[in-house]
Structure 1
């Protein structure tokens, strides 16, 4: 029963994201709106992490399976995509490097910030 209520909470934020996507004239996917709303609710304390933890862990555990249909679709349309392969690689490689660099810098900054906070507390 716990999973049902946790799934319901997550789905409520997905639905709110769909509503925002329909109402706001921005080119932002509804899923992004839903994730941002859930993040804001978690940060503000409206939703406590334990209220969505088990279902969230389950969903992140099966996340790779969600890419299987997309991969099958790409393989089915490979002939059409072959003409766009070089531009796609040229666009994808630099963006991937930038994402890795940004994620690494953010992680380093957060670790440094945490260590600094812990050092200030221990002094």
Structure 2
């Protein structure tokens, strides 16, 4: 029964995010809305981490499985990717270095804030 309850909670959050996405006057991803909604419920104390721990751990440990359809569908766009290979490579390289920089800045800021709190 515990597993069904956890799956029900996760599916309810997903469903609510789809409903919210439908009624928004602008385009916004339902998966992002779902993450924000789940985070808000955890912060507010509506949900406790124990309510979803087992199923979320299962989904995280099998995350690579969920990328298979996206990876396979890339084959449909091989010609488009081939014609824009350099642009895609530059974008990937630049975004990787920007991500490294933002992550390093975030870690430094977090460490400073944690030291001030002590």
In which range does the TM-score fall when normalised by the shorter chain?
0.7 to 0.9
Structure with more relative contact order (C-alpha pairs < 8 Å, separation 6 or more): 2
RMSD, aligned CA: 1.7
1:29 positional shift: 0.7
Q: Which moved more, 1:78-87 or 1:44-53?
A: 78-87
Equivalent position of 1:94 in the other structure: 94
Shift of 1:77: 3.2
Structure-2 separation of matches of 1:4 and 1:46: 18
In 2, Cα distance between the equivalents of 1:98 and 1:104?
Answer: 10
CA distance in 2 between partners of 1:104 and 1:111 (Å): 11
Unaligned runs of 5+ in 2: none
Higher mean C-alpha deviation, range 106-115 or range 53-62: 106-115
* Equivalent residues, number: 118
Offset, 1:76: 4.4
TM-score, with structure 2 as normaliser: 0.87
1:14 maps to which residue?
Answer: 14
